[in-house]
């Protein structure tokens, strides 16, 4: 898998081969590719993967032995009816969580190196136009164009566009943000958001989920639909913007 050392990929492949009858604890920092690795290997083994992000969701699920469950919890999921843990991949930032689960198979992933990050984020630009944006928003093209042209607060530069995302004050994603996304590189947008979102969030679990989704989107080539779904996820996060002026940090993306 891109971005994951071959030795670590093979280790995970061996562990997930028997995932239906065991529990694998995959630990590592945000952005190291945990989610994308699990999804890729699950597809390789033709597993039906069910993602669970909260303890309430876990408790409401009726676990099925034919499924594999990707569980993102900061604590050990409680056993149900005193049954043995099986069919689970627990994704966590805590490298010692596996010690609390009997017979768990631990796999620890390290933060990607700068060299790896740069290799995974090649120079690219998304070729999306207003016709594509129209398909996203469902609005007539003339109305979409007018939203951009007649905005009370024009956002023609890339960093103004990022600011509209990071400092958003609306409950839903404005149509204009989708339009601006179509006029900028999806890859560049996602890599800058990956670098700067941690300064605007106080919900670590939600942040971890969004950042892993960014990693998955980048590994899939930054498809337009992935970027749109990520914007919706960012809008749903509980925000905590910096109290002082925040200078947007650059990512490993470099333009020539």
pLDDT of residue 72: 79
Output b/e per residue, 58-96; b: 16+ Cβ within 10 A: beeeebeeeebbbbbbeebbeeeeeeebbbbbbbbbbee
DSSP state of 62: -
* pLDDT at residue 55 in the model: 76
42/22 Cα distance (integer angstroms) = 14
Go through the domains of the chain in sequence order and give each one's CATH number: 6-112 (3.40.50.300), 118-236 (no CATH)
Residue 235 tokens read as 């809008």
pTM: 0.45
CA distances from 244 to 159, 219, 229, 247 (A): 18, 34, 29, 10
For residue 45, give the nearest of 23, 72, 67, 22 by alpha carbon: 67
Cβ pair 23, 92 in contact under 8 A:
no
User: CA 224, 69, 55 angle in degrees (round to 5)?
Assistant: 95
Please give the chain's pLDDT, 256 residues, in tens: 555 778 888 998 998 888 888 889 988 876 677 888 888 888 888 888 888 877 777 777 777 777 888 887 767 777 665 566 778 888 887 778 778 888 889 988 876 555 554 444 433 223 233 333 343 344 444 444 443 444 444 434 677 778 778 877 777 788 778 777 777 777 778 878 887 888 777 777 778 888 888 877 777 777 777 788 888 888 888 777 665 555 555 544 444 3
Distance from first CA to last CA of the chain, Å, rounded? 28
What is the gyration radius of the CA atoms in the chain, in angstroms? 20
Question: How many CA within 13 A on the CB side of residue 67?
Answer: 11
Of 145, 235, 252, residue with least CA distance to 194? 252
**Is there a contact between 230 and 214 (Cβ–Cβ < 8 Å)?**
yes
* Residue 149, phi then psi, degrees to nearest 5: -70, -35
Q: Do the strands 105-108 and 88-92 form a parallel or antiparallel pair, or are they unpaired?
A: unpaired
Pairing of strands 68-72, 88-92: parallel
CA distance 31 to 202: 17
User: Tokens at residue 25, please?
Assistant: 């604890």
Q: Percent helix, strand, coil in the chain (nearest 5)?
A: 45, 10, 45
């Amino acid at each position: 898998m891109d971005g994951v050392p071959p030795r670590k990929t093979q280790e995970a492949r061996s562990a997930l081969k028997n995932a239906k009858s065991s529990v694998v604890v995959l630990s590592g920092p945000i952005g190291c590719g945990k989610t994308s690795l699990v999804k890729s290997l699950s597809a390789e083994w033709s597993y039906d993967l069910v993602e669970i992000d909260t303890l309430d969701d876990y408790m409401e699920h009726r676990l099925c032995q034919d499924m594999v469950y990707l569980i993102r919890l900061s604590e050990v999921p409680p056993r149900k009816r005193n049954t043995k843990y099986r069919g689970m991949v627990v994704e966590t930032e805590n490298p010692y969580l596996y010690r609390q689960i009997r017979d768990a198979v631990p796999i620890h992933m390290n933060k990607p190196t700068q060299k790896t990050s740069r290799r995974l984020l090649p120079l690219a630009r998304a070729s999306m136009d207003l016709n594509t944006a129209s398909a996203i928003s469902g609005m007539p093209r003339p109305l979409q164009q007018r939203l951009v042209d007649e905005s009370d607060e024009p956002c023609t530069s890339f960093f103004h566009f990022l600011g509209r995302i990071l400092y958003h004050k609306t409950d839903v994603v404005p149509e204009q943000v989708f339009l601006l996304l179509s006029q900028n590189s999806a890859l560049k947008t996602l890599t800058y958001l990956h670098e700067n979102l941690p300064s605007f969030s106080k919900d670590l679990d939600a942040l971890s989920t969004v950042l892993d989704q960014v990693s998955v989107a980048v590994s899939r080539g930054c498809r337009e639909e992935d970027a749109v779904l990520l914007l919706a996820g960012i809008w749903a996060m509980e925000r905590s913007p910096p109290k002082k002026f925040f200078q947007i940090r650059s990512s490993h993306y470099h333009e020539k």
